[in-house]
A and B are shown apart, each in its own frame.
Chain A
Amino acid sequence: MTEVSSKGGTLNWLRERFPASFAAARMWLRRFGILPQILSLAIIVGVFAIGTKGKYLSWANIQTILSLAAIPAIYAIGLHPTIILGGIDLSVQGVASLCAVFVGILLKNQYNPNDVGLWIIPISIAIGGAAGVINGLLNTGLRIPSFMATLGMSWILYGMAVLIGKAVNVQILDARIESFVAATVLGIPQIAILAVLIAVIVQMVQDRTRFGRYMYAIGGDEVIAKQAGVKVKGIKIAVFTLAGAIYGLASLLLACRLGWATSRMGAGLLFPTITAVTVGGVALTGGIGGAKNAALGALIVTALNDGLVLMQVSPYIQQAVNGVVLIAAVALTLDRKKLGFIK
């Protein structure tokens, strides 16, 4: 066996040496479908580790990345099931703003006597969920394409948020959730653990419940799924509701982390969330990808942006980089056979 320097050569060498384990590893990776993501992460870490002369790999920085990636990961976990269905949910910004406003009003603040404490958790989730229900009804009942329905809803919700919040920035005085967000357990940010927990639960639902499998069936071939007896309308509404509910939770966490509830909180959320989802490997054509992909995608995007910040790249160039990454990720994950003619 000659020593080969190229990666491909090494892989082949490994394959010849350890055929059984190689095949098993491939099968495992294939099943979990995250090989490209792990490779990308490795490349990013490698590039920035060198670029920042090791500062990137410091424990403090890794903690930062994990902590920063958690909330986008939760948003991504919320959004991606709508894409698995074959549609999309563009209402993140509106839902986030609306939830933020309610958080400002209901948690202890300086403008009114409200102090709902931890009840805010189910309340925020419920508000997001309600928005999701409407999205689902618009899509299944009025048969408006999901991108249009959710885009319209985003504008409506955003308008409502500003109307209710009256463009006032409310400082959140209830520090309980805030401290949860900031705390660490054994050095790992609690909020990251929460994100992982949510990812695991959602992934399990996707893999091991009928609801989860029907979601993939609809994304695979809606007509056949319907013929087989899948209750397409009900599942679609449920998925949009779930998405909204998860946005509600994420928005609560985000508001508490910022310490301020503003009606503008939603601004700029859509872009990174979609980027995270597609980078993670969830194909826009539907039927492919799960919560682990969404969470991994958020991690990769955060790792990328963190590195860019450490290397002092202008924040606006960062956004341009994100735009290019989005286009590339979408292009690579699309199932061309499904597309036919693209709109």
Chain B
Amino acid sequence: MADIEQADTAESQDARKRLMRTGRISPVYFTIALLVVVGLLFYLGNRNFLSLYNLNTIISFSAILLMVALGQTCAILVGGIDLSVGGLVSFISVVFILLIEPLGYLAYPACLLIGVIVGYINGNILTRIKIPSFIATLATGGILTSLAYIASSGAGAPRPVNLSPANYHVVDNIVNGRLLNVSKVLYIGFAVLVLFYIILRFTSTGRNIFYVGSNIKMSWMSGISISKTRNIAFILSGAGAAITGLLISSVRYGGDPMVGNAYILNSIAAVVVGGTALTGGAGGVINTLFGAIFMSMLDNGMNVVGINQYFQQAILGAMVIVGVTLTFDRTKTPIVK
């Protein structure tokens, strides 16, 4: 029954006209507009919001969030999602502190490697055992959370793991402090941002992530290796989460096995609100940059203005739903499950 299926039916011409209107404006502009508007609202609520000190806080927090959000961007771009980032951030935050004692500066690359391995495992569960990413990463996230608990205190209740002052120099030299009056965290954040940007826009594997997310069947038929592309996407996600874990522990001089929980929601919100579509194949690193800044601003602003901290989570949930509704590519699936 496929005789005239391909014809330029009146329907598809209409759809095309609709797309031409909205498809021209990149979602980033909406995010920036949202940023400005909400920023002004917070300012009206509390003048201190736009103080230099506060802005500094916002930017620093957004840099840390950005790392895991960049990784999440890759997972979502390829058409999946990574719900294990929370567990991974927690796990790395604890393990990093534990590894500084024996490994010193090498704890940094070691933890990065762990993030890469976790991402690789996630990717393989997806491609080899063929389990949808949201279940697979839900499961691995749970495993990682429990590993974080064990690492922090064996069989007892989870508790923070503090860095012994003897080792403060390790984190101070790399992460803490300022260079040319800009906090080092920002430099690191910027460098990682540039790295992700280059990978996604200027390497063929990065480009393949977009192709696979946009049309997986076409990518397969064109000879792109779906499994390799997905593995790379989830490896990048693992790496991003690991960097966030490293930064958090460095800044706080200690690890906390519960710290990662909030990052699942925050990373997805940053990606989605930034304009990357959950359907995959559209969006990117710059979108997430503004999304992360927005999320950080929202978080900070709500505190400054005095909104209940827990209510904030509800607002985030609502934003995610709104963000998904606006960016979801409905031409892809006639049935929404």
- Residues of chain A at the chain B interface (Cβ within 8 Å): 85-87, 138-139, 142-149, 151-160, 162-163, 167, 222-223, 263, 270-271, 274, 284, 286, 314-320, 322-324, 326-327, 330-331, 334, 336, 339, 341-343
19 more A-B residue pairs beyond the given contacts A263-B310, A270-B138, with a C-beta to C-beta distance below 8 A: A142-B321, A142-B325, A143-B330, A144-B325, A144-B336, A147-B134, A153-B321, A154-B317, A155-B316, A156-B318, A158-B313, A159-B316, A222-B335, A286-B337, A316-B155, A320-B146, A323-B146, A324-B143, A334-B131
Q: Which of B204-227 contact A (CB under 8 A)?
A: 216-217, 220, 226
Measured between beta carbons, the chain A residues less than 8 angstroms from B321 are 138, 142, 144, 148-149, 152-153, 156
A156 to B150, CA, bound (A): 30
Tell yes or no: B311 within 8 A of A by CB.
Answer: yes
A152 touches B320 (CB 8 A): yes
Within the complex, which residue of A160, A318, A331, A342 is in contact with B314, where a contact is CB–CB below 8 Å? Answer: A160
A339 touches B130 (CB 8 A): yes
Measured between beta carbons, the chain A residues less than 8 angstroms from B324 are 144-145, 148, 152
Closest B residue to A340 by beta carbon equals B217
A-B contacts at CB below 8 angstroms, number: 148
Measured between beta carbons, the chain A residues less than 8 angstroms from B313 are 155-156, 158-159, 162
B316 touches A319 (CB 8 A): no
- Of A86, A156, A336, which is in contact with the most chain B CB atoms at under 10 Å from its CB? A156
Interface pairs A-B: 9 shortest CB-CB: A159-B314, A155-B317, A162-B310, A156-B317, A319-B146, A159-B313, A323-B143, A152-B321, A316-B146
Measured between beta carbons, the chain B residues less than 8 angstroms from A158 are 310, 313-314, 317
Tell yes or no: B132 within 8 A of A by CB.
Answer: yes
B310 touches A343 (CB 8 A): no
A339 to B127, CA, bound (A): 12
Within the complex, which residue of A138, A159, A223, A334 is in contact with B311, where a contact is CB–CB below 8 Å? Answer: A159
Closest B residue to A167 by beta carbon equals B310
B138 touches A163 (CB 8 A): no
Whether A319 touches B336, Cβ cut-off 8 Å, given contacts A149-B321, A153-B317, is no
- Residues of chain B at the chain A interface (Cβ within 8 Å): 79-80, 125-126, 129-136, 138-140, 142-143, 145-147, 149-150, 154-155, 216-217, 220, 226, 265, 278, 280, 308, 310-318, 320-321, 324-325, 328, 330, 334-337
Minimum Cβ distance to chain B for residue A289 (Å): 15
B325 touches A316 (CB 8 A): no
- Of A284, A320, A323, which is in contact with the most chain B CB atoms at under 10 Å from its CB? A323
Closest A residue to B272 by beta carbon equals A148
A331 touches B143 (CB 8 A): no
B311 touches A163 (CB 8 A): yes
Minimum Cβ distance to chain B for residue A243 (Å): 15
Minimum Cβ distance to chain B for residue A317 (Å): 7
Whether A145 touches B336, Cβ cut-off 8 Å, given contacts A316-B147, A320-B143, is yes
A323 touches B142 (CB 8 A): yes
A316 touches B314 (CB 8 A): no
Minimum Cβ distance to chain B for residue A150 (Å): 10
Minimum Cβ distance to chain B for residue A90 (Å): 8
Whether A159 touches B143, Cβ cut-off 8 Å, given contacts A145-B336, A274-B135, is no
Closest B residue to A330 by beta carbon equals B131
Measured between beta carbons, the chain A residues less than 8 angstroms from B335 are 222-223
Q: Is the interface of B mostly helix, strand, loop or mixed?
A: helix
Measured between beta carbons, the chain A residues less than 8 angstroms from B317 are 152-159
Closest B residue to A271 by beta carbon equals B142
Closest A residue to B319 by beta carbon equals A152
A327 touches B131 (CB 8 A): yes
Minimum Cβ distance to chain A for residue B125 (Å): 6
A149 to B138, CA, bound (A): 16
A327 touches B139 (CB 8 A): yes
B80 touches A343 (CB 8 A): yes
Measured between beta carbons, the chain A residues less than 8 angstroms from B138 are 270-271, 274, 326
B132 touches A343 (CB 8 A): yes
B328 touches A316 (CB 8 A): no
A145 touches B147 (CB 8 A): no
Minimum Cβ distance to chain A for residue B161 (Å): 15
22 A-B Cβ contacts within 8 A? A86-B337, A138-B321, A142-B325, A146-B336, A155-B314, A158-B310, A159-B312, A162-B308, A163-B310, A223-B334, A271-B139, A314-B154, A319-B146, A320-B147, A324-B143, A326-B142, A327-B136, A330-B139, A331-B129, A342-B133, A343-B133, A343-B280
Minimum Cβ distance to chain A for residue B55 (Å): 26
Minimum Cβ distance to chain B for residue A146 (Å): 6
- Of A86, A87, A148, A317, which is in contact with the most chain B CB atoms at under 10 Å from its CB? A148
Minimum Cβ distance to chain B for residue A134 (Å): 10
Measured between beta carbons, the chain B residues less than 8 angstroms from A153 are 317, 321
Measured between beta carbons, the chain A residues less than 8 angstroms from B149 are 316
Closest B residue to A140 by beta carbon equals B336
A143 to B329, CA, bound (A): 11
Minimum Cβ distance to chain B for residue A278 (Å): 8
- Of B142, B149, B150, B308, which is in contact with the most chain A CB atoms at under 10 Å from its CB? B142
Minimum Cβ distance to chain B for residue A193 (Å): 31
Minimum Cβ distance to chain A for residue B262 (Å): 10
A222 to B336, CA, bound (A): 10
Minimum Cβ distance to chain A for residue B297 (Å): 18
Measured between beta carbons, the chain A residues less than 8 angstroms from B337 are 85-87, 145-146, 286
Closest A residue to B125 by beta carbon equals A327
Minimum Cβ distance to chain A for residue B186 (Å): 29
Measured between beta carbons, the chain B residues less than 8 angstroms from A326 are 135, 138-139, 142
Minimum Cβ distance to chain A for residue B81 (Å): 8
- Of A152, A154, A271, which is in contact with the most chain B CB atoms at under 10 Å from its CB? A152
A317 touches B131 (CB 8 A): no
Measured between beta carbons, the chain A residues less than 8 angstroms from B328 are 143-145
Measured between beta carbons, the chain B residues less than 8 angstroms from A343 are 79-80, 132-133, 280
Measured between beta carbons, the chain A residues less than 8 angstroms from B140 are 323
Minimum Cβ distance to chain B for residue A332 (Å): 10
A152 to B310, CA, bound (A): 15
A323 to B87, CA, bound (A): 12
